[in-house]
């Protein structure tokens, strides 16, 4: 049998060798994450960046890494894998091997980058996600209800309860959420400015440290921007120009406003809980002739970009094991909005993973 020379995009079933390679690639998927985690712990991406854009040799990189002893042969193997992942550009000249950063690694994998997603990687690796994913089968076959996340299956507390008691886990989660919504905030302001035009008051429900609200406040300084959060979040929230923080519970009552904004919040909850929240929103909206703005991933049945599709589906699996929520399709969102009597809605894709959903009565 001839050896396979290219397996990218190969579908299992063409021949036995391609089937073998395809399945072995699926089984090896976790190695990508572990090598990436290794590179972040060693700050490989930051070390290359500090060389000012010029190629870095293997000895130079080894000298820049933490630790008294760096085994260059093993470092070379890690760099070879990162190059295959297209996170590093590798080359060779008369002086030996050299490396530069790809745009993706420079933007999102450096600890020192303003766009860094390193906090998200750390949450996944150090926040118990691996253990929860190993219990994914219990989410499928468990007898405690379809919305019971794996985090609660071994008779444990909810993730939010654990994060409120474990300060390190809570900070890890907050840092990861801040890192993720930073890009989303820019995409919302730049991609859908008309949504906020004419509004006098907006409440960012579950807005965390106010990253999204601050971006909107900068773009629309005449609008009053309020973040509704739990008391312990409000107590430690950083001061942000144009943003007010108010303690409250979105399941009990919502402040009066022209618009209620939910950014990556409703996916944490079951359909029943989301419907509860939307009905509370309806009471506010009906009094103010306002609207609800939802920023969430929308899963498509026909996604052209397979990498984007995989990221969305992987996020849905993480929601299954960590929370009681899920990432929803457009039809699932339409169904929830209609049940809450929001019959006017539109979906706008953002230059991010999410869509912006604008809904009114």
Tokens for 342? 């929001």
Q: How many residues does the chain have?
A: 361
Contact 216, 202 (CB under 8 A): yes
Query: What phi and psi, each to the nearest 5 degrees, are found at residue 31?
Result: -65, -35
Taking the alpha carbons at both ends of the chain, their separation in whole angstroms is 64
Contact 82, 1 (CB under 8 A): no
Which DSSP category does 2 fall into? P
Q: Which is nearest to 297 in space by CA: 340, 270, 321, 330?
A: 330
Q: What angle do CA 312, 30, 124 make, to 5 degrees?
A: 60
Residue 29 neighbours by CB under 8 Å, 6+ apart: none
Q: What angle do CA 100, 103, 107 make, to 5 degrees?
A: 110
Ramachandran assignment for 347, one of left (phi > 0), alpha (psi -120 to 50 degrees), beta (any other)? beta
Residue 51 designated active-site = no
List strands edge to edge, sheet with 56-57: 56-57, 96-101, 88-93
Query: What phi and psi, each to the nearest 5 degrees, are found at residue 155?
Result: 60, 35
Contact 354, 344 (CB under 8 A): no
Contact 275, 340 (CB under 8 A): yes
Catalytic residue among 18, 84, 267, 355: 267
Active site members: 267
């Amino acid at each position: 049998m001839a050896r396979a020379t290219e397996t990218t995009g190969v579908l299992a079933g063409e021949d036995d060798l391609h089937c073998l390679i395809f399945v072995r690639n699926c089984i090896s998927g976790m190695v990508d994450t572990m090598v990436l985690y290794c590179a972040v712990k060693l700050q490989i991406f930051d070390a290359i960046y500090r060389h000012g854009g010029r190629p870095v040799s293997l000895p130079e990189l080894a000298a820049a890494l933490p630790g008294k002893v760096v085994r260059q042969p093993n470092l070379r193997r890690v760099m070879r894998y990162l190059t295959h992942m297209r996170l590093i550009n590798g080359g060779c000249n008369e002086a030996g091997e050299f490396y530069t950063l790809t745009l993706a690694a420079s933007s999102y994998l450096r600890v020192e980058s303003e766009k860094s997603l390193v906090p998200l990687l750390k949450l996944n690796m150090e926040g118990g996600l691996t253990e929860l994913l190993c219990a994914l089968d219990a989410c499928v076959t468990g007898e405690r209800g379809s919305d019971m996340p794996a985090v609660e299956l071994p008779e444990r507390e909810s993730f939010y309860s654990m994060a409120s008691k474990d300060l390190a886990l809570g900070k890890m989660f907050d840092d990861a959420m801040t890192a993720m919504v930073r890009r989303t905030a820019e995409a919302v302001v730049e991609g859908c400015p008309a949504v906020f035009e004419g509004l006098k008051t907006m409440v960012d429900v579950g807005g965390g440290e106010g990253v999204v609200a601050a971006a909107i406040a900068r773009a629309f300084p005449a609008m009053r921007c309020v973040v509704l959060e739990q008391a312990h979040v409000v107590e430690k929230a950083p001061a942000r120009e144009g943003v007010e923080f108010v303690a409250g519970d979105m399941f009990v009552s919502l402040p009066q406003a022209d618009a209620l904004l939910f950014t990556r919040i409703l996916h944490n909850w079951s359909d029943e809980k989301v419907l509860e929240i939307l009905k509370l929103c309806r009471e506010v909206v009906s009094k103010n002739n306002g609207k609800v703005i939802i920023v969430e991933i929308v899963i498509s049945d026909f996604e052209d970009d397979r990498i984007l599709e995989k990221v969305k589906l992987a996020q849905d699996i993480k929601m299954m094991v960590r929370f009681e929520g899920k990432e929803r399709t457009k039809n699932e969102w339409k169904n929830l909005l209609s049940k809450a009597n929001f019959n006017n809605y539109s979906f706008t894709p953002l230059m991010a993973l999410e869509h912006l959903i604008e809904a009114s009565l």
